[in-house]
Chains A and B, each alone.
Chain A
Amino acid sequence: MGLDYDISTNEQEFVLEALKQNVRLDGRKLLDMRDVKISILPSEYGHVEVSLGKTRVACKVSAEIVKPYEDRPFEGIFQINTEISPMCSPFFEIGQGSSGSGSNSRQANEEVLISRMIEKAVRRSNALDIESLCIVAGSKCWAVRADLHFLNYDGNFIDASCIAVMTALLHFRKPDIEVAGEEVVVYDTNQREPVPLSILHVPICITFNFYNPNGNEENVKGELNNELILADASLIEERLSLGTMTITLNKNQEICQLLKSGGLNIDASLIMNCCLYASKLVSRLNDEIHEVLKEDSKKRRNVREEKELQVFNERES
């Protein structure tokens, strides 16, 4: 049994009362996001750590050559592995999400939703072109695998892990190969520059949480529409929220995935406002990711080697 997370009544009321006055515990505005810190491990390709306030997620992408699925001979394999361990917070448990017996507890629910959400945001939206992973049709293809590790939990796993997976995929380089008939030669990274994956678009998730200052009846029947909307909730805010909505967008203003599962009933116009606000956040985050990647590639450039490989010698004039 996992542990439940209880918040004292005093604290609950304090947080909710503060929210009604547009103040959050960490001093943010209601729709502000925490600072996103993306760090790429310098030693290898495709190992990224993302922190969103105290929430920390690490993602490692790896690739190997395998036989493709029989019904999809022209496609590679892409898997996202998410298992939330008790390491990040004591109320997650090992292997709970997949077992049917524990599916009624809130934690197990959360885990299923998180892993399905990332799966839908990244895999179903075709962020990674899996046809480009095919090497020899029907016999050899790349199997790309993204392993997500949740290091610390302070709310909003979905947003953090989506950024982590996408940055890791963008950063990952697979070894260069050469195909001659059925023969495949895999070159070592020292022999040939490894090649990046073909990423078609960069989906980014934004999660909103809803609170109701007026009581349940008002929400169902009333016309007030003054539900509070928060972006990027922390752990306590997440626990106290009465409903969440996660929207995944890319920078082309396309929705890749949208889920509001029950909870408070929110007016359609408010939801549209959320979507528009999310699209602004997404373009900012997208720029941030590319900024980090650019910086990293600058660090990785080997100036001496580049000089050696240059066709022209530098001449003194």
Chain B
Amino acid sequence: MDTTYASSAVKALPDAPVLSILINHPPFASMERKKRPRNDRRLAELSIILKRCFEKTIMLQNYARSVIEVTVTILSFDGGLLATCCNSITLALIDAGISLYDYVTAVTVGIYDQTALLDLNSLEEADLSFITIGVVGDSDKLNLILCEDRLPLDRVERLISLGIEGCHRLKQLMNETVREVGTDLLSKKQ
């Protein structure tokens, strides 16, 4: 197999746009004020997941030779970290006027015994198994799934379908807010 290795230092500014996502978790955000190491692997992983999540949803072809920089600061942590980050980034990108194919919405679903639960708080997250699900627009297609706990395989289908419904509802709410803000802005301009 003939393949070439090129030093990435040569391509200082690539044609393809760069999306960088940084997550801040300041000590005041959670109950215990713990000092976190600067290069927290968990946050690094989250930002990579989010980056990959939006790479396919932003119309990147419109932003050649540019950098889209997203900084997320967690103000108060009570579960659903990845889901909330994902939703807030979607709204922030829309507010910044960056073209997306559709809304990316995410929500956590957990399971207690036989009951599926939508959007867990941090106490529930500590004790129950849960999945984070991200959906693009009104489709049934999943952009993001993250499960870090043990979970019986036969329950997953129900959790995913509940999660998709939750995401669709979220999309409606987000859409309403975006349009409200949009009309408000328009009325001020005239």
Contact = CB atoms under 8 A, between A and B. Distances in A.
Interface of A: 1-8, 11, 90-91, 98-100, 103-105, 109, 112-113, 115-116, 120, 124-126, 216-217, 219-221, 225, 236, 242-243, 245, 249, 253-269, 271-272, 275-276, 279
A8 B1 CA distance: 11
9 contacts: A11-B3, A109-B51, A125-B149, A253-B153, A258-B131, A259-B147, A262-B51, A262-B56, A265-B142
Contacts of A8: 2-4
Interface in B106-165: 131, 136-137, 139-154, 156-157, 160-161, 164
Contacts of B151: 254-255
A296 B184 CA distance: 73
A258 B147 contact: yes
Given A258-B147, A259-B147, A265-B139, A253 B152 contact: yes
A90 B53 CA distance: 27
Contacts of A109: 48, 51
Task: Give the interface residue-count category, chain B.
Answer: 35 or more
Contacts of B131: 258
A272 to B, nearest CB: 5
Contacts of B45: 112-113, 116
A251 to B, nearest CB: 11
A3 B7 contact: yes
B150 A271 contact: no
A109 B19 CA distance: 13
A173 B39 CA distance: 35
B156 A275 contact: yes
Contact of A262 (B5, B6, B38, B143): B143
Given A112-B45, A255-B156, A271-B160, 7 more contacts: A225-B141, A254-B150, A259-B146, A261-B53, A261-B146, A262-B50, A275-B153
Which of B41, B47, B145 is most buried by chain A, counting CB atoms within 10 A of its CB? B145
A220 B136 contact: yes
B3 A245 contact: no
Given A253-B153, A254-B152, A255-B150, A242 B56 contact: yes
Which of B45, B47, B54, B151 is most buried by chain A, counting CB atoms within 10 A of its CB? B45
A221 B38 CA distance: 39
Contacts of B4: 6, 8
B141 A268 contact: yes
A264 B157 CA distance: 20
Contacts of B146: 258-261
The 3 closest A-B pairs by CB, nearest first: A262-B52, A262-B53, A265-B141
Which of A100, A126, A220, A242 is most buried by chain B, counting CB atoms within 10 A of its CB? A220
A39 B47 CA distance: 37
B52 A245 contact: no
B49 interface: yes
A83 B31 CA distance: 33
Interface string B22-59: 00000000000000001101101101111111111100
Contacts of B8: 1-4, 105
A262 B147 contact: no
